[in-house]
Structure 1
Amino acid sequence: MHIETIEIRNYRKLASVRLDLAAETTLLVGANNSGKTSALIALRSFLKQGISAFSKNDFTLSRWQEINDIGVGWTEAPDVTPAVKWDGLLPSLDVWLRVDDHDVHRVSALIPNLDWSGGLVGVRFSLEPKDEAELAHSFNEAWNATQTARAAWQASGRRESEGHLSLWPDNLVDFLTRRFQTHLTLRHYTLDPDQLQDPQQDRAVIQNLSADAQPLATNPLQDIVVVDEINAQRGFGDKSGASTDDSSGRIPETAKLSRQLSEYYTSHLDPTETPGPEDLDALQTITIAQNGFDARLQEAFREALKELTGLSYPGVTDPSIRVASKLSASESLKHESAVSFKLDNANDQETQDMFLPEGQNGLGYQNLISMIFRLMSFRDRWMRVGKARRPKSEKPIEPIHLVLVEEPEAHLHVQVQQVFAKKAFEVLRNHPDLQTGSQLTTQLVISTHSSHIAHELPFESLRYFRRLEAGTHGVAVPTSNVINVGTTFGTEPETQRFVTRYLRVQHADVFFADALILIEGSAERMLVPHFIQKHHAALHHAYVTMLEIGGSHAHRLRPLIDALKIPTLVVTDLDPKTKVGGNAPTQRGAAQITGNPTLVDWWEHSTVIDALLDTAPDRKLLELDGQYSVRFAYQTPVMVAVSSEEPEEALPSTFEDSLALSNLDFFKELEGTGLTKKIRDILNKETDATSIARSLHDALRTGSKAALAMDILVSTRFNSLEPPAYISEGLSWLEERVQKTDPALGGALHAA
């Protein structure tokens, strides 16, 4: 048995999302503020903490007005409590379990009908009023008291200043700020697997409860799912209290490995807890040490206690004072030196071992050791290891262990992030009863901003959180969708193989970007970032990912980009060809067609070079929804003045010749050999634009473009270099898209 799907509704910015959980590790990825942490908190709150974890701030903001309208209705008709459809207004979580035959008895309360023959069962965790009539009465009572006070205050001759005098409760949501736990509760309902639907436009289709649906008496998952969590705020280097940077080298108690060791010892190793034969030697040793220490204490305090008798204490009826110790192994592990780190010593045979206290080890190592140890502790507590073993009369081990880890990359350098990603699940399963064939399930959910962690895990495990603008799907506030990246390519195995292998070799930070730029080759890779920094400040401060991919393969990324719906600029080449085949310089009226698969298979605009050259900039676009579009940028005519004052049209075919034609004076003086020298000689020799374009095309077929880019980078006049017009137009478009996506930040989106 395992959790197959989670559906979350009306929880913060997760208005209606579906989160499919992988059998082992599920990785939540996406740009900042996309809802990854909210998803983890929702799982923890609904499945583990219960009603005490919620507040009115967990309501999706777009639902506030609807909830407040209910309160208005109550105040207008105080003697009538209208039947309100709360299902669909307040937060809820649907959990869908895939149940094996041997586990059917565990989910008997969730079997929807007599026709159910195995497979999926579902349960809804729904936040709703305990008693609607009582809630309405209490709200009206508080509201009327406020209005009475306001009326009396105004009747006394006082007038409200400009603006609104805010008195509690201002509305029903404001009322719940103080009375949330009093009037709301968490209830559980059985769901119908036949009504489970696939998402529509990446939005979960949440089934409605029937009008006569009755809540279950108890939480049906309390003996099925055990939830453990490591959150992002782990306290390492926290300067609000003791810090690893202060002179004492102390770290907060909650972050100390020594504290975790002590708790692990108490739970699993303490010999005083139901001792067995193997514990008696340890207990005897502790007893002997304690007796000896007590005798020494009595001797040490003898004179001090005798001095007290001079003050008439103890009297005849007063109890006497006894000084005794209590030795506890668990308490002895809580001091600052309980955990230390041994240093390598070149003179090991001549000097004593040297140790550093816990707080003086690197934050990365502290974090890694702490997280791994906590995972071990979670596993051993779930499996009742050692002293955590329970009597046979108590409930059996829960069949599902759900572990939530938020941003494990904190303080970890790249290699350690990758180690954690690969080893975390192995640690959680490192128990004899959890090996192959076990009927107990571990599911690990990790949220991350690290492309290195995303790089290490299978492509199928990624769940992408996409930010949506206010107004999307009719929701008045910004929300998010969740996209199952593993299903992006459908039945296209060749494309999936290419993209997954490419991202593993190149970049996984595509899943965290605010915008993408696809480029052809190394020269663009070196120079486009310079153009962005110099001419496009807002784009420079955004989180933009640049992928270097040849024009013959860029279109293979289309299924992924279409799924993630990230604004994308595709910088590519015209690649003109004659109808009989073969590369040729770009020419008008020569019946040329483009040989670029990206322009042919992705844009699908036109294959004719003449038509491509005459296409207006605002038409080089695939507008797919309000937030997602793809802009194609390819070489356009360049007007150059060669031997006369009158500019002539030159038709470039690649980035390099377009760059040279746009910066004639720069390249005429550019120092270098090889291709650089060829271009310099062409520009200084040829006397018309057509000849220059043709000669540049021929030179670029054999020369090293990377060497040319390096010569450009080392030039003393590098900062005078101007981008070709087609590059500048494309970057301006992308900059506008980025600013539109988050105008509150003025285009300076969440920096990497």
Structure 2
Amino acid sequence: MHLQSFAVRNFRRLRQIRVDLDDEATIFVGANNSGKTSSMHIFQYFMIDSVKFGIHDFSAACWQQFNEYDPATEGAALPDITLDLWFNIDEANLHRVIDLLPDLEWEDSAPVGIRLSFEAKDPAQLHANYLAMRAETGRWPSDLHDYLRKRLRVEYHVVHYKLDRRQFDKHLLLKSEQTLQVLEKGKEILRSIIKVDLLHAQRHLADTEQRGRDEDLSRTLGRYYERYLEKPDPAQAPLQALADTEVGLNNHFNTVFGPIVKRLNKLGYPGIDNPDLMVRTELRGDTLMNTSAQVHYVVPGAPAGQPAITLPDRYNGLGFKNLIYMVVEIVAAHEARKQMAEGQPPVHLIMVEEPESHLHAQLQQVFIRQLKSIIDDVEDPGTQFVLTTHSSHIVYEDFSSIRYFARVRDMDTFRYSDVRDLSVFSDEVEADTRKFLLQYLKLTHCDLFFADAAILVEGNVERLLVPLIISEFCERLATSHLTILELGGAFAHRFRKLVEFLGLHCLVITDIDSISGPPKPREACTTDKPGAITANQTLIQWLPGEENIKTLLELEPEKKEYRGGPGKATVRVAYQTPHEISWHLEKLTIAGRTFEEALAFENLDWSQDEANKSLRLKVKDPADLDAVVQGVFERVRKLDKTKFALTLIEREVDWACPSYISEGLDWLADEICDLDAPPTVVSAEEVTDESSD
């Protein structure tokens, strides 16, 4: 039995999303403030009694609905926050969900669903209470939203409903407004089916006396020992050794902690010099693990026959400590589920927020690859992991487990998030394209899934120089998270389907690559040669879908843009455009064939200055302007482009950015720089009022 999918409505940025889960591990990715963490927190809010909803947990679009609510209006309703859970059921667990079956016509292949709804207890009475309070005070509340800021937990509660999959469409939306059946014992039913555990990202591991998150590994392991591991028999040697020697207790601890150390070894913490883990006693009284035992690391390299040297855990790095912490917490959650008094729920959802914290790249790869082996109970297939991450090292193994949280910006509405299931993309895209994308992501470790926008560039020169150009010529983009991918005109178009599926903002900076001649062979030529065409497959197969150089040079800017695709992507291509140049009173309008030509032409006096000859763009003794153009063309073809880029970087920026790149970057800045405005500051009064309900 597994949690097949869940749907969220009206929770923060999650106005309406559906997420399908992998049977083993699902990875949530996306840029900052895209809703990944909220998709985990809603489970915490609904399934942990101590966590309470606040008015600001409702999506921004709901706020106006509160203030427009009038119970006298037919069909009027107050906003609610809902979490729909859909389970696929096996025969062994059918008895657990009897109360969730919609009717006798239910087919055993259909998922079974339950809705958790945070909704008004009595909408009409709520509105009457609001009006009465306003009449009594004469000034507060200013509107219904303001009233619920202080009275939400009095007026709202959680209700459970039975769901029938036949009443929902493929997006898990109700086909029509229907009355759902309330489950009187919904909380008990849910707890008998699923257990949810969350590991938050704020794992501040320290060797101090503080409690809570700021605790050392010894206390973490101590808590695990007290709850789940076998204790020594008071009549046997380990406890007697408390007064005589530590040997017995050390043996005991190493025996009971053996399985968890074995799990750690499965993760393969990299490096041959990494110390082994052991637990040893430091006796200070009549207690054992919590105050008298310490995690130690065995220092490698002890001479043969000599006793091992050990150091307390505070002498090792945060990466190893964080790994141990996560493994212990995951195993502890697993043991707690097995020991539940009311019976072990068949589904265990373990949600880990940003496991990469303090873990270096190799360990991040190992962690996700070996995650399932941490819980090696072969008779317990019901554990599912959900991870949120900003690590490119975690996501490149496969597309099928990735769920991309996209920030959506529509006209005349608040920003919200949508979820793109990359298992769908993986199934639909051609096998060779899928293989190319996975291999590229694996080799480059690019952060495509976490960036505000992507810039696909022609080659190494642009990859090196675009960050410099942004800092010098487009300050609006300087604070944006951009991923710059070097693909070249021959391969950039292979990212088209992924860009469109994810709905990315994407700028493609490429070369016009003019060629001419008989059908075969064709040779590079200047862009003003009659009949020239482009050799750039991105311009031919993606944007703007043209081959003729003359047509490309005359194309209007709006025809270089594309908006659409499954994810509503916004894409623009930027390639060299005509520019008027002058030389010794001669003038000519021409476009460069490459970045280097465009830079030379649009900075002609600078590029031909003797002081800049180290760039190797200077033409020797040109007779006229045509000779300059031809000479630059010839020199660029023989140029060591990486050396050229590095030479340019180390110089003072006393040149102008090629206009086609400036135009492209300005377009991208217009698209993303206001994507998510800074949040409004909430007053201290609002915070304290909300927590006082």
The TM-score normalised by the length of structure 1 is 0.77
Residue 330 of structure 1 and its aligned partner are, at CA, apart by 10
Task: Measure, in 1, the Cα distance between the counterparts of 2:74 and 2:639.
Answer: 80
Alignment correspondent of 2:262: none
* 3-state SS of 2:87 partner: strand
Establish whether residue 126 from structure 1 lines up as the match of residue 82 from structure 2.
Answer: no
* Other-structure match for 2:222: 262
1:229 aligns with 2:194: no
Structure 2 contact 527–590 (Cα < 8 Å) conserved: no
Of the candidates 609, 634, 651, which is equivalent to residue 575 of structure 2? 634
Listed one character per residue, the Cα deviations across residues 568-597 of structure 1 (whole Å, up to 9, x for unaligned) are 111111122337331331344612222221
Q: Which residue is 2:438 aligned to?
A: 500
Q: Which of the pair is proportionally richer in strand?
A: 2
Q: Is the 8 A contact 1:51 1:181 kept in 2?
A: no
Query: Which amino acid in the other structure matches residue 109 of structure 1?
Result: D
Q: Work out the CA distance in 1 between the residues paired with 2:378 and 2:61.
A: 49
Match of 1:433 in 2: 379
Q: Aligned letter for 1:37?
A: T
- Residues 51-87 of structure 1 show CA distances to partners (whole Å, capped at 9, x for unaligned) of 85322222112212222333xx46xx7xxx988545x
Following superposition of structure 1 onto structure 2, how do residues 94-105 of structure 1 map, counting pairs within 5 Å?
94-105=84-95
Q: Give the counterpart letter for 2:228 in structure 1.
A: H
| AA matched with 1:499 | L
For each residue in 1:250-298, what CA deviation from the matched residue of structure 2 results, as whole angstroms up to 9, or x when unmatched? 5544433222222211222243xxxxxxx54x544477578999xxxxx
The letter of the residue matching 1:42 is I
Letter in 2 for 1:484: D
Matches within 5 A, 1:148-187: 148-150=136-138, 167=140, 169-187=141-159
Q: What does residue 160 of structure 2 align with?
A: 188
SS of 1:573's equivalent? coil
- SS of aligned partner of 2:170: coil
Q: 1:522 aligns with which of 452, 460, 475?
A: 460
- Tell me, in whole angstroms, the C-alpha distance in 1 between the residues paired with 2:388 and 2:488: 32
3-state DSSP of counterpart to 1:338: strand
The CA distance in 1 between the partners of 2:75 and 2:243, in whole Å, is 71
Secondary structure in structure 2 of the residue aligned to 1:719? coil
Whole-angstrom distance in 2 between the partners of 1:418 and 1:479: 31
In the TM superposition, what whole-angstrom CA distance separates every residue of 1:426-482 from its partner, at most 9, and x where no partner exists? Answer: 21x322424xxxxx3221111112222223x4222111111123x55x6x3221111
- Secondary structure of 1:563's counterpart equals helix
Instruction: Look up the match of 2:271.
Output: none
Tell me: CA distance 1:580–1:132, structure 2 relative to 1, closer, same or farther (3 Å).
same
Q: Assess if the C-alpha contact under 8 Å between 2:456 and 2:492 holds in 1.
A: yes
Kindly report which structure 2 residues correspond to 1:248-287, keeping only aligned pairs within 5 A, or say none: 250=209, 252-254=211-213, 255-271=215-231, 280=233, 282-285=234-237
Deviations 1:87-117 (A, max 9, x none): xx20001111122333333222222232222
Residue of structure 2 equivalent to 1:607:
547
Is 1:567 the equivalent of 2:505? yes
CA contact (8 A) 2:502 2:569 kept: no
Query: What amino acid does structure 1 have at the position aligned with 2:449?
Result: F
Q: Is it true that 1:218 corresponds to 2:186 in the alignment?
A: yes
Query: Larger Cα Rg: Structure 1 or Structure 2?
Result: 1
Is the 8 Å Cα contact of residues 31 and 465 (structure 1) preserved in structure 2? yes
Report matched runs for 1:374-523 at 5 Å. Answer: 374-382=329-337, 384=338, 388=339, 395-427=342-374, 429-434=375-380, 440-455=381-396, 457-469=397-409, 472=411, 476-488=413-425, 490-523=428-461
Q: For 2:319 and 2:605, how far apart are their aligned partners in 1?
A: 51
How far off its partner does 1:32 sit?
Answer: 0.8
Q: How many Å separate the matches in 2 of 1:336 and 1:529? A: 54
Structure 1 CA distance, aligned partners of 2:456 and 2:656? Answer: 20
Counterpart residue identity of residue 128, structure 1: E
Deviation string 1:192-243 (CA, Å, 9 cap, x unpaired) is 22243334xxxx6455552363434323322111111101222336xxxxxx
Partner letter of residue 479 of structure 1? Y
Residues 453 and 178 of structure 1, relative CA distance in 2, 3 Å threshold: same
Answer yes or no: is the 8 Å Cα contact 1:236–1:251 preserved in 2: no
What's 1:324 paired with?
none
Distance in 1 between residues matched to 2:432 and 2:642, nearest whole Å = 30
Q: Does the CA-based 8 Å contact 1:190-1:216 persist in structure 2?
A: no
1:558 and 2:558 aligned: no
Moved more, 560-569 or 683-692: 683-692
Q: Report if aligned partners of 2:606, 2:655 keep a CA contact under 8 Å in 1.
A: yes
**More deviation, 360-369/550-559:** 360-369
SS at match of 1:6: strand
Counterparts of 1:498 and 1:290 in 2: how far apart (Å)? 62
The equivalent of 1:719 in structure 2 is 653
The match for 2:628 is 692
Which residue in the other structure is 1:276 paired with? none
Picking from 652, 658, 675, the partner of 1:741 is 675
Shift in alpha-carbon separation, 1:68–1:348, aligned structure 2, 3 A: farther
TM-score in terms of structure 2 length: 0.83
SS of the counterpart of 2:181? Answer: coil
What's the CA shift for 1:406? Answer: 0.8
Task: Please tell me whether residue 4 in structure 1 is matched to residue 4 in structure 2.
Answer: yes
| CA deviation string 1:668-689 (max 9, x = no partner) | 437788xx65x43xx2332333
CA deviations on 1:625-654 (whole Å, 9 max, x unpaired) are 998421111112233333x22332343211
Within the alignment, does 1:338 sit opposite 2:338 as a pair?
A: no
The whole-number CA distance in structure 1 between the counterparts of 2:535 and 2:145 is 61
Query: Residue 474 of structure 2 aligns with which residue?
Result: 536
Q: Is the 8 A contact 1:332 1:338 kept in 2?
A: no
Residue 20 (structure 1) aligned with residue 20 (structure 2): yes
CA distance in 1, matches of 2:571, 2:75: 48
CA 1:136–1:620 in 2, change beyond 3 Å: closer, same or farther? closer
State the partner residue of 1:240: none
Contact 1:585-1:652 at 8 Å conserved across structures: no
Alpha-carbon distance between aligned partners in 1 of 2:286 and 2:390, rounded to the nearest angstrom: 37
Q: Quick one: distance in 1 between partners of 2:665 and 2:220?
A: 51
Identity %: 32
Paired with 2:492 and 2:648, the residues of 1 have a C-alpha distance of: 26
Kindly report which structure 2 residues correspond to 1:257-336, keeping only aligned pairs within 5 A, or say none: 257-271=217-231, 280=233, 282-285=234-237, 331-335=287-291
5 Å-filtered alignment, 1:674-713, equals 677=616, 679-680=617-618, 683-713=619-649
C-alpha contact (below 8 Å) 1:525/1:548 kept by paired residues: yes
* Count of residues in Structure 1 that have an aligned counterpart in Structure 2: 634
What is aligned with 1:353? 309
Unaligned 5+ runs, structure 1:
151-164, 238-243, 272-278, 294-326, 435-439, 746-752
Q: Distance in 2 between matches of 1:54 and 1:336?
A: 41
Q: Larger deviation: 328-337 or 629-638?
A: 328-337
Secondary structure at the counterpart of residue 190 of structure 2: coil
Contact 2:7 2:18 in 1 (8 A): yes
Cα deviation for residue 560 of structure 1 reads: 1.0
Distance 1:206 1:533, change over 3 A: farther
